Amino acid sequence: MKDISSVSHLSKDIFDLSSISKESQQIKIVIVRKKFKKFATIVSGFSNFDKAKEVEKYLKKKLACGGTVKNKVVEIQGNQKDKVKQLLVDKGYSEELIDA
């Protein structure tokens, strides 16, 4: 038996709200300088902590670098601005709404 939504009383397979939220989020990517002349790529604009954590794990795996999530903001080690933008587009985020 398929899962039935309590709100619409239809199958949950019909509605994929995760792609809608990805396409409408305004994402901002900036480079900041840290201690000892190191750089970090900051990705902000996520709706909740779980989405930010999911993106952080994806970026760390694809870029083979370290990173963390603080207050719904993803911080990736290194100057990875162009690579992060391309990976977010590949993941389903709208290129027009990514401010890099």
Encode pLDDT of 10-68 as tens digits. 666 665 555 556 667 789 999 999 999 999 999 999 888 999 999 999 999 999 999 99
pLDDT of residue 7: 66
pLDDT of residue 90: 92
Q: Would you identify the CATH topology of the domain 25-85?
A: Translation Initiation Factor Eif1 (3.30.780)
pLDDT of residue 76: 96
pLDDT of residue 20: 53
Query: Model confidence at 92, in pLDDT bands (50, 70, 90)?
Result: confident
> In sequence order, which residues have a C-beta less than 8 Å from that of residue 87 and are 6 or more positions away?
58, 59, 62, 63
State mean pLDDT over 68-86: 94
From residue 38, give the alpha-carbon distance in Å to each of 67, 76, 78, 82.
13, 11, 7, 17
